[in-house]
Structure 1
Amino acid sequence: MAGREGEAAAMNYRHAYHAGNFADLVKHGLLLWLLGRMARDERRMLVVDTHAGSGLYDLGEDAVRSKEAQAGIARLMGAARLPTELAELKAAVAARNGGGETVRWYPGSPLLIADSLRKGDRYLACELRPEEHDLLAERLKGREGVETRQADGYEVVRAVAAGDRRRLVLIDPPFERPDDYVRCAETAGALMRRDPDTVIAIWLPIKDMETFDGFLRRLADAGVKRALVAEARLRPLTNPMQMNGCALVLINPPEGAQAVAQDICEWIAIALGEPGGRGEAWWT
């Protein structure tokens, strides 16, 4: 199992290379719903993003121009009918692009989170790469309640106390390191032991079921016995060398998460996927 997880980790899923693809639509559609749903709580929020990236991506640059964005956000922007949560993502992206359907700039999780904060909420965005952190800090400069750190997000999130705030943690690593799957599971387990009320969203690529199932076993071994898996599989798992789908694993999600996740994943699998793909939300 360790060998297969190491293979998957080598996929080098850096945010800029894949900005606006189908996986971003799953992650960001559900993230916006989580933020909106948790904002109904009178308690203030602490949102921690362990692998924030640079926050905003220019889809017109050679470095990030790809068929993935054309097959992802570009098609979503042109869709006439969308689940409510994806319509909210469409509106957020349009706001960054002059209100139209043509997308040059794609907002990552940092901007989506920062734009969703209420007065008194806090957002801590971690990014280990110096060049990406510098861009992130510039793009979030001057935002009330927002802090960036050039640091290992796995370590930071364990050390930061939520106080009387409700905590939402987004764990979205690039899967460059062979231990990313292990650290995701161990970090989630540590957070649950410290603060069982924490809401956690872990993004994962799906290349083959052995790697994915192995992660879910690791999560259970770390003490997380129940989680909601929002899975968008765009094609059959016949080629483990490519990303065939993705999942957002939600721990302690607010009520209503399963129906929302089902709608998002189903739409993406049907609208953007190949025959044999599927979208579903299920509990471990």
Structure 2
Amino acid sequence: MRQVTLVEVGPRDGLQNESRELSIDIRHELIRKLAAAGLKDIEAGAFVSPKWVPQMAGSAELLSRLDTGGSIRYPVLVPNLKGLEAAMAAGARDIAVFGAASETFSRKNINCGIEESLERFAPVIREALGAGIRVRGYVSCVAACPYEGDIAPGTVAEVADKLFQLGCHQISLGDTIGTGTPGRILAMLDAVSRMVPVAHLAGHYHDTYGMAIANIRASLDAGLRTFDASVAGLGGCPYARGASGNVATEDVAWMLEREGFVTGVDLPALLDAAGFVSQALGREPASKVARAFGAPAAAS
């Protein structure tokens, strides 16, 4: 199958790791531009405490402005039942829960170990599914952890399988600090796909060492057809020193088109969205494609 789905994570995963906070109006306009570029899955926000993640403040108002009943899906991150209730009140029909394959990373990120995190997610997933809401599961540190080093593929597979068994329709596998290489990513995917069907897996590869595109190309050969990406390469990881943002959506879209895959993405419109958010943040787009096409100067 030559169809590939891109899940745009810039408005959530990207912006929550940018130092400059953007207004709800700017975030809404960014999402509108991403939808106009043909993206059908766009992370809209996170129902977390603004005390800890101020960049995601106002996610309820933002989500309420979107047509959550239309053809475009706007998943939001929820950490607990309180977050789920707020997301449901705002009209969410897609949510995501965030786990890790590293015990230390899990404790530093969400203040509990892997098993406890899964226990916390269980009632959230159960209630969401009962309300007809789709749930996506994230697994971070699938190649390595900034605290523990390399992570065994079998450990990743176990966490992914538990999320899948809890009812997550898709498991997004995150190379959080971007140290994965094609061989290591393929070994991880081999282990995970023995427990979770490859059709229910997605790749989420950060580009710290410039390996994200290579890892996506290798993952395509392994059968993956869904990949997360962040417009203009937004974001990073506050728990991983030097970790750059997720791979830029425009770089992934360009590569896939050149390789003969179909994404439904309008590259010029996507570059417009990249330029818009980069100017709002006062920096240049991080993507190679934006630079090659001539990115607009960043606003001060």
- Asked if TM exceeds 0.5, the reply is no
- Larger RCO (CA under 8 A, 6+ residues apart): 1
Q: What is the TM-score of this pair, normalised by structure 1? A: 0.43
